[in-house]
């Protein structure tokens, strides 16, 4: 069982017409469920605020998942997300 991690934000950048975004959100939610201390925020590019945040982060496509400082474009493998959390937690990011 994964150990608790310090507070870390997991952001999923989505768009209402994106067909793979729901899968990315479910994967990120699973990650947050497994690792206490992670916080999930879904950012929709369907809103002005979401577009502004995406622009600030340099997001060019959806879905994009950001785990701490690690970025995934598209829907990553579960193992890659877990590895990102472990790297971030250990300070190896």
What is residue 72's predicted lDDT score, i.e. its pLDDT? 97
Distance CA 15, CA 36 (A): 27
Q: What rounded mean pLDDT belongs to the chain? A: 91
Query: What one-character-per-residue DSSP string does 64-90 give?
Result: EEEETTEEEES---HHHHHHHHHHHHH
Distance CA 58, CA 1 (A): 34
Domains and CATH numbers, the chain: 8-88 (3.40.30.10)
pLDDT band at residue 45 using 50, 70 and 90 as cut-offs: very high
Query: Rounded to whole angstroms, what are the CA distances from 52 to 46, 59, 69?
Result: 11, 10, 19
> Is pLDDT of 75 > 60?
yes
The pTM of this model reads 0.89
What is residue 36's predicted lDDT score, i.e. its pLDDT?
86
The partner residues of 42 in beta bridges, in order of sequence, read 12
Judged against a pLDDT cut of 70, whether residue 3 lies above it is answered with: no
What is the rounded average pLDDT of the residues 22-42?
95
pLDDT score of 7: 85
């Amino acid at each position: 069982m994964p150990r608790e991690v310090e507070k870390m934000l997991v952001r999923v950048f989505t768009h209402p017409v994106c067909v793979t975004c729901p899968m990315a959100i479910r994967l990120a939610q699973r990650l947050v469920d497994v690792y206490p201390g992670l916080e999930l925020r879904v950012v929709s590019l369907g809103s002005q605020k979401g577009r502004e945040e995406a622009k600030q982060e340099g997001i060019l496509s959806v879905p994009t998942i950001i785990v701490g400082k690690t970025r995934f474009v598209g829907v990553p493998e579960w193992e890659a997300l877990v590895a990102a959390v472990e790297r971030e937690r250990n300070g190896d990011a």
